[in-house]
């Protein structure tokens, strides 16, 4: 007996497998709450040893810092190198995490003056053209990264290399973090005084002779309580 086919039978529609957005994560972030939250948000995580950045989301390199890590790496100059290394990528991003949990500009935080932190952030934005996102907590950071993963289309080659700033570059980077001090002014100060300590201790007359009205920046910094 021939099998009779029901012409009204609904065809089985093959469901297309939804591809999870892929995020490359530095293996040192393996125990971070951000990585586990990204998995909860449906992201595909691949842990690798990244020479530069903490997260690679298609064509964007992301450096993530908690507030404590941001300030401490600013003090020990580790962040200077990381900012320089991010320049290898056309699209880069800095996440400063935890503004709901900790004060960023507190003068008591690790002994760093709030204006020094503001000046440093301005240098990152204006000199190095790195956008900064301030997130509430690890969940907020993960949400930003997941939204980015869904939007981007191109993947980034993982060929970035570590770069070490020499001592002169590190000093110039710090001085450029002062409000109103650009590369040329920083170079003039270093050429004359050689160290940050000498710059801070220089007399008002000496400073005005070298950098004119911009000497007010150094003079005002001396008046602040660290």
On whether the 167-223 domain is CATH 3.10.450.50, my answer is: no
CATH architecture of 22-151: 3-Layer(aba) Sandwich (3.40)
In the chain, CATH 3.40.50.10130 covers 22-151
Region 114-119: mean pLDDT is 85
Give the ranges where 23-66 is alpha helix by DSSP (H). Answer: 33-40
Per-residue pLDDT tens for 69-80?
Answer: 999 888 888 888
Q: Is the pLDDT of residue 48 over 80?
A: yes
Q: What is the percent of the chain where pLDDT is above 70?
A: 81
Q: What's the per-residue H, E or C state across 174-185?
A: HHCCCCCCCHHH
**pLDDT tens-digit readout, 78-95:** 888 899 889 888 899 999
Which part of the chain is CATH 1.10.150.20?
A: 167-223
């Amino acid at each position: 007996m021939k099998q009779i086919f029901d012409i009204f039978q609904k065809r089985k529609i093959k469901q297309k497998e939804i591809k999870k957005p892929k995020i490359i994560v530095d293996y040192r972030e393996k125990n971070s709450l951000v990585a586990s939250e990204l998995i909860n948000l449906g992201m595909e995580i691949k842990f690798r040893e990244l020479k530069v950045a903490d997260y690679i989301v298609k064509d964007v390199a992301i450096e993530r810092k908690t507030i404590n890590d941001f300030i401490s790496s600013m003090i020990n100059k580790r962040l200077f190198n990381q900012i320089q290394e991010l320049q290898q990528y056309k699209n880069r991003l800095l996440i400063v995490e935890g503004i709901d949990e900790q004060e960023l500009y507190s003068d008591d935080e690790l002994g760093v003056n709030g204006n020094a932190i503001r000046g440093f952030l301005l240098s990152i934005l204006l000199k190095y053209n790195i956008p900064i996102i301030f997130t509430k907590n690890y969940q907020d950071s993960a949400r930003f990264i997941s939204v980015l993963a869904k939007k981007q289309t191109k993947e980034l080659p993982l060929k970035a290399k570590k770069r070490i700033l020499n001592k002169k570059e590190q000093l110039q980077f710090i001085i450029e973090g002062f409000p109103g001090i650009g590369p040329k002014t920083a170079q003039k100060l270093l050429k004359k005084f050689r160290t940050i300590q000498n710059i801070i201790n220089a007399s008002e007359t000496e400073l005005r002779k070298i950098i004119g009205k911009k000497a007010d920046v150094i003079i005002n910094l001396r008046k602040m309580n660290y």
